Each structure stands twice: as C-alpha cells, then as structure tokens.
Structure 1
Amino acid sequence: MNNSKTKKIVVSSMLGAITVILGLTPLGFIPLGIINATTMHIPVIVGAILEGPVVGASIGLIFGLSSFIKAFMSPTPISFVFYNPLISILPRVLIGIVSYYVYAALVDKDKKLLKIISYILYPIFIIFLSYLLYQNIVSAHIFNAVLTTIFLITSIILAYITYKSDYNNFAITASAFIGSMTNTVLVLGGIYLMYAQPYMEKIGKPIEQAKSAILGVSITSGLPEAVICVLITTVVVNSVSKIKMDSAIYNEKKIKTITN
C-alpha cells in the first residue's frame, strides 16, 4: 500500500472518529440561542476538500451509519425516519462527493470574480451573526452570546483576510455552504416525500402544514448550520493547508542543505 492510500485511510479514520464523537456528545451541537447548529457534517466536508471525494464519501458513510445506529440505540419520537438508509446514510455520503466537486470546480476560477462574490457573502454572514448576538444579549444568554461573538469575530477576520490578500477562500466557502445544505435538503426532503404524515403526527401538527413546517426547519436550522460550517471549515482547511505548505518548504530546505 502506497503512502497516498495510507494517508487517505488515516484521514478518513480520524475524521470519521471525530464525527462519531460529535454525534454522541453535546459537542455535535453549538447553542446559538434561538437555534442549535450541528457540526457533525463538518469533518465530512473538510475531508472531501483536503483529500478528495473518496475520503469525503467514506467519512460521510461513517456519519450516516452513526446516525442510523443512534436512531435505534437512543430513539426519539422522530427517530423512525432515520431507520431508512435513504435518509440517515445516503445524504451523508453525498455531502462528501458534492463538497469535493464544488471545490474542484471553483478552486482554479478567476480569483477577482470569486473575491467579489466573497464580498457579498461575508457581509451576509456578519449581519446574520450580529442578529444572533443581539438576540442572545437581549435574552441574557451569556454562554450563547460568547460563542456567537467568537464566530462573528472569525467571520470579520476571514472577510478582512479575503479582502487584503490574494488568497481565495470562495471555493472553500461555496463547498462548505453547498455541502451543508446538501445534508439539510436531502434529509428534510426525504422526510417530506416519504414520512410527511407520520412525522407531522409525531410533532403534533396537521398534515396540511407539513410543507411549511419542514421548510421552516430548513431555514431556522439549515441556514445557520451552513454559515457555521463555512466559518469552521475555512479556518480548518486554511490552517491545514498552511501546515502542509510550511512542511513542504521545510523539507525542501532540508534536502538542499543535505545535498550541499
């Protein structure tokens, strides 16, 4: 087995283990006051961007299997929807595949155009997080306010770096956002198409409200999760890429020193 395959297996195993830990502990959810954003899909997207679609799909499979097993081991009133692999597993596998190909399609595009789009997206993130911070301060949710402040500062820093440097974050931004929404749309869409009536019965609402109820969940949870996913993924991918670059430069200098 060559070094590349070994590396992919190691990365898949590590990020897959992180995904399982996030799913089994409160670390998988970030309390932001009016919503809780899940972070369990972030290792899938990070793995896909850094190591390709096979690694992303593999981590997504681990994510899906953990959701499938948890539905049986720790059932809730709506756990029955996750007994179906088309909802609990398939969307999670597709997160890694979609994220990679979005990143691959954009990473070499014209940086000026992509930076202009970034100038539009980051202010939206900042305004949204500012609104969450305001809600948390008004509600006196100190811990949630602190977390929201951290993400708000992070988004401002990333926006500044994108503005001041030649480095293009848009490919990562788009990959993380679309990858996150892939999970939201496919899971909630699957629930609507296959389990609308029993799902609405479990949450105590009439079937006539199924469309608006599920759409409401996608907006109140899906969009915040996508924003948080963008911020965390951007920081992680940029940090790992910098470490790789520094390591490559160090090794190159070391080889030159030895040969001289």
Structure 2
Amino acid sequence: MGKFLNQAQVDGFQRDGFVSNLAVLNPTEVAELNARTEAFEAERPQDLSWAFDIKANLLFDWVYELGRHPLLLDAVEDLIGPDILMTNATFRIKNPGSHIDYGWHQDSARIEVKPAFVIVFVALSPATAQNGCLRVIPATHDRVRPFTLTEGPGQLNRLVARVVGADPDQAVDLTLEAGEIAIFHGNAVHGSAANMSDKRRVAILYDYTPAKARQHVGRGSGQLVRGVDTWGHWGHEPVPEPGLTETNVLNRRAMLSTYHENVLMGPRLPGETITFPDRPY
C-alpha cells in the first residue's frame, strides 16, 4: 500500500498512464478556492490572461499552498517517489459556451523529461463530458508520438504540439466531481473539448517532477515541495508572497527568463525572442 493510492491504482497508472476520481479536497476547501478564483476575476479582469497562465504557483500563495496539499502530494509520491518538484501550475477554466478545444497532445512532446513528470488535474467544479472534461487515450504514455506544432488556444505566440494520428475512439472521459483529482503521465496523449453546457468548468493543473529527473533539452525550474534535491538538475524557485505582488510578478518573470526551456514553453528555436505572459511595467 502507498501513502494514498492502493496497489490496483498504482498498477492502473503504470498500465494506462492515468488514475482518476481521487477525493482530495473537502467541500469547504473547494468553496474557498472558488471564492479566491472568482474574487480575482472580478477585481482584476484585465490580468486574467497572464496571471492564470504558466507558473501561477509563483504568483499566488494560495495556488502554491494547494499544490502542497498533503493528500495530493501523497498520491503523487506513490507514483514518482518522495523527492518532488512542483514545476508548474496553470488554471484551466472553460466558461459556458467556450469554444476552447485543447487538441490531442503530450505535455512532454517538445521537451522530454526522464524519469517522467505527472500532471494533476484538480477539479474545482464538476468536470463532465458536456463541459469539456479531460480525455485521455490509455496506454499512450510509453513514448513521444509524432507531432506537429501550432499556436495554442488562449496561448498567444506559444507553439504547442499536436499528436499526429491520435484515435479519439480510444479516449476515456475523466469525469470528476468538485474536489476530486486525476493524475496522468507526462507522456499520456490527452485533450479536452469545448464547453457545450451552461455550467462552468474550473480546474487548476499542476506538474510534479522527480527531483532526480533531467530534461533532454535545456534546464527547467521548480519549487521543492517534498523531500530533498541532491541532484541539482533544476533551478529552484521562490515561494510567493501573499497577494499578487510586484515581487511575485518579477520573480516569475525572472524564472521564466532564466529557465526559458521548460515543457510548456518548449526548446528555444533559432532566433526566437523569449516571450511569456506578463504585464508591462
């Protein structure tokens, strides 16, 4: 038995590349997180496009703290070991009628990480087939598939990989209740469709990487959230201050500038100018 997962769940993850419907947050925690999300949306709508994007864990102390939730980390430890870096947190919100469709992709396609990282989908609302839940194609985590590059939805000037020849008929809907999580392998082929319902879908996605892992291109960075890092393969990121402070914004900018080649941004292309979501100063 692991700290959180049973052996059947661990075996299923190793076979299929994902494990789902893990109850982590209680209703009070879910309500507080949604209230924080909605308060920021109401108070600073002009900042949503960049503040809820890549490495939100460097901007919001409560996003960082959610990523350190003991039950969540127990489940992650059962899959990747005790020395854990939080290497990204990103909001994924689909409002009713949203046409955002994240096509079939592997998060590790452009920069491979070995041993692989995992992604945790934290549902702050129900995730259903109608509102664009996560979909995963089982047993596709064994290798990186051929892909093409395109500009991602809602990710201006950021190239994203799209798997060539993915078979959607093989996909599994990871429907979740609010407070549940799904964990999937960094190589797993996954995507999500548009929100065709009248219900909002709210989630935060976290990347967790074994501290001993290496990128095949460049050097990434992360926050050590459990265990130790005796390998030194990753840059270490600061813990955010309470509130979206200028210090937090500039720290995030510094991390993304220094460690530009990460799995979300991809390898730097010849002549490429470093760009990432931010606000002007």
> So what's the TM-score if we normalise by structure 2?
0.26
Largest Rg, 1 or 2 = 1
> So what's the TM-score if we normalise by structure 1?
0.28
**Larger RCO, structure (CA 8 Å, separation 6 or more):** 2
More helix by share: 1
